[in-house]
């Protein structure tokens, strides 16, 4: 499997490069980074002391010309720019980018009619099993329990709530027959009045080097139920991305998520 990776200077980009170089059934054929990056021209494996033979570039055509898959954990604008090039070369996409607008999501969906892609806010197998558990719990605790989503990430994360927290909210709202856009509460301050039992609250923490913690609190009268997933490393995200690539091996088009990859739907 010939794989290209976008975002070489990012934490996930580096983890993905290391993961690909350590797997026998995949080959690294291209690595992209943003224009002006100090890593441009350097060997992609230099940070782990391994010569990969692949030079980091900002030229998407060069990076994707011989690729079968592109794994992209960057920013929405960069993802869509790479998508346009990937479609020309018939490259399948595994997208872990978060923060897409509704218009950008529509653009991805449109492209999936001719390009196979897995798009997921979180590629971790554990997180996606947690989503399944939350769907089950929300259906059973639909009345009498207030729901709060608490997420924590490192100080460098630029979007809030996290894409995973929003996906959690979508799963909870779907299980309860609600529209997240109408029931989500993203912040509280001052006199807020009593809690509306139909709402789903979100709390965001940013600090230090927290990889990613997500907890859903079901608060009832006389008891609380918490379902949590905590990441101590990005290895799980990288391994999930490779699993998604293998899932796409026999797909020529379509928009899939990690629930599809894991057979959880």
Q: Which residues are catalytic, by number? A: 153, 157
**Which class for 95: exposed (0-12), middle (13-18), buried (19 or more C-beta within 10 A)?**
buried
In sequence order, the 6+-apart residues with CB closer than 8 A to the CB of 33 are: 6, 7, 8, 9, 13, 39, 40, 56, 57, 58
Q: Are 171 and 131 in contact (CB under 8 A)?
A: yes
CA 160 to chain centre: 14
Quick one: CA dihedral 108, 253, 125, 216, positive or negative? positive
Residue with tokens 């990937």: 86
Quick one: CA dihedral 7, 11, 16, 17, positive or negative? positive
Sheet holding 27-32, edge to edge: 56-57, 27-32, 2-6, 69-72, 92-95, 116-119, 254-256
How would you write 240-257 as a 3-class SS string? HHHHHHHHHHHCCCEEEC
- Number of Cβ within 10 Å of residue 63's Cβ equals 28
CA distance 158 to 8: 18
Residue (of 140, 196, 202) closest to 166 by Cα position: 202
Backbone angles phi, psi at 136, to 5 degrees: -65, -45
């Amino acid at each position: 499997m010939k794989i290209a990776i976008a975002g070489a200077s990012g934490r996930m980009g580096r983890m993905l490069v290391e993961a690909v170089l350590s797997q026998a059934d995949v080959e690294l054929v291209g690595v992209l980074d943003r224009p002006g990056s100090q890593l441009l021209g350097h060997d992609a494996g230099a940070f782990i002391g391994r010569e990969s033979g692949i030079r980091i570039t900002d030229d998407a055509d060069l990076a994707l010309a011989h690729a079968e898959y592109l794994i992209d954990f960057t920013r929405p604008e960069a993802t869509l720019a790479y998508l346009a090039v990937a479609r020309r070369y018939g490259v399948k996409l595994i997208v872990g980018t978060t923060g897409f607008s509704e218009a950008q999501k529509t653009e991805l969906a449109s492209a999936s009619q001719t390009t196979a892609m897995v798009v997921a806010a979180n590629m971790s197998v554990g997180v996606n099993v947690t989503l399944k558990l939350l769907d089950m719990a929300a259906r059973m605790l639909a009345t009498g329990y207030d729901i709060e989503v608490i997420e924590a990430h490192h100080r460098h994360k630029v979007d809030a709530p996290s894409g995973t927290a929003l996906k959690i909210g979508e799963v909870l709202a779907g299980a309860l027959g609600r529209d997240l856009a109408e029931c989500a509460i993203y912040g509280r301050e001052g006199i807020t009045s009593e809690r509306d039992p139909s709402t789903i609250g979100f709390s965001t923490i940013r600090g230090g080097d927290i990889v990613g913690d997500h907890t859903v609190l079901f608060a009832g009268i006389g008891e609380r139920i918490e379902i949590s997933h905590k990441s101590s490393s990005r290895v799980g995200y990288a391994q999930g991305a490779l699993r998604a690539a293998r899932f796409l091996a026999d797909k020529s088009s379509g928009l899939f998520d990690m629930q599809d990859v894991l057979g959880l739907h």
